[in-house]
Structure formats: C-alpha cells, structure tokens
Amino acid sequence: MLRGVDLRVTRPRVAVLGAVHDLPHADTESIIGAVRRDLGDVSHQAVYDVLRALTTAGLVRRIQPSGTVARYEARVGDNHHHVICRSCGVIADVDCAVGEAPCLTASDHNGFAIDEAEVIYWGQCPTCAARRDAGTETVH
C-alpha cells in the first residue's frame, strides 16, 4: 500500500497503517500506544509525521469533530459519514444515506467549487440512550 502511493516503507509507517486498520476512529494517543506495543519505542513525533503523510497520500482519513482530538480511519474513498454519541463520544460509520448521488453533488454553492461533503450526525448511542432511559442520568 505504501509503495502504491510512493511512500518509503519504514517500520513506523507499517505499524501506524496497521494500527489505523485495527482500531477504527482511534485518536493519536491510541495509535501511538498500538504502535509501541508493536515496535517498542517510537517517538510520538514520528507517529504524527506518519499520520500526516498517510492522510496526504489518501491512505487514511482524518476526522476531527467539534471539541475532540483528531481521529483516523482506514476506510477511505467511499465518502461515508459518521454518527457520534454526545454522551460517550463513540463513533460509528454511516453509509451515504441520501438518495443516489448524495452528499457530494458537484454543485456550486455561492460560487464555491465543492470537492467534499462531510456529514456528522450527533445523538445518543444505544447504550447511553438506554442508560438515560433507566434514570441513571450519566450525562456527559
């Protein structure tokens, strides 16, 4: 995969790419943890650099919902979206739902040339909704 996008193959890159595949929607810290479990010591700077390189190359996608740290996922190229639980922060994928040529109509709003439509659904995950219904009120 790395060679396919003209990136040099290094141990940190392979490990980061593996971690992003294994841990969907993981934040940088989790990825650093997984990489170190795999390789031993790796600097956090290296992981940041690698994540940027992979993102630029299009091998991973970076998402950063309001008020959270950056997260990464390996599912790219299909323009899917995300649901985020306001209570526990868990993220799930949502396939593009609206009609057929959805989300990214190559339309031209306000004269902008649009190349991506990013949709984030906010709500309650099943677990948190149940907990709240039960009265435990573990808000946030």
Q: Is 120 in the site for its own copies (CB under 8 A)?
A: yes
3-state DSSP call for residue 73? strand
| Site for its own copies, residues 71 to 90, rule: CB under 8 A | 83, 85-86
d(CA 34, CA 16): 8
Q: Could you tell me which stretch among 16-24, 32-40, 41-49, 103-111 binds its own copies (CB under 8 A)?
A: 103-111
In this complex, which beta carbon is closest to its own copies, that of residue 10 or of residue 56? Answer: 56
Q: Which is nearer to its own copies, 9 or 129 (CB)?
A: 129
Phi, psi torsion values for 49, nearest 5 degrees: -60, -45
Question: Whose CA is closest to 88, among 134, 138, 26?
Answer: 138
Distance of CA 125 to the CA centre of its chain: 17
Cβ neighbors of 85 (< 8 A, separation 6 or more) are: 91, 123, 124, 125, 128
- x/- track of binding to DNA for residues 55-94 (CB under 7 A): ---------x--x-xx------------------------
Contact status: 49 vs DNA (CB under 7 A)? yes
SS3 55: helix
| 121-140 positions binding its own copies, by CB under 8 A | 121-126, 129
Report the interface residues with its own copies, using CB under 8 A.
Answer: 62-64, 66-67, 70, 83, 85-86, 92, 94, 97-99, 102, 105, 107, 109-126, 129
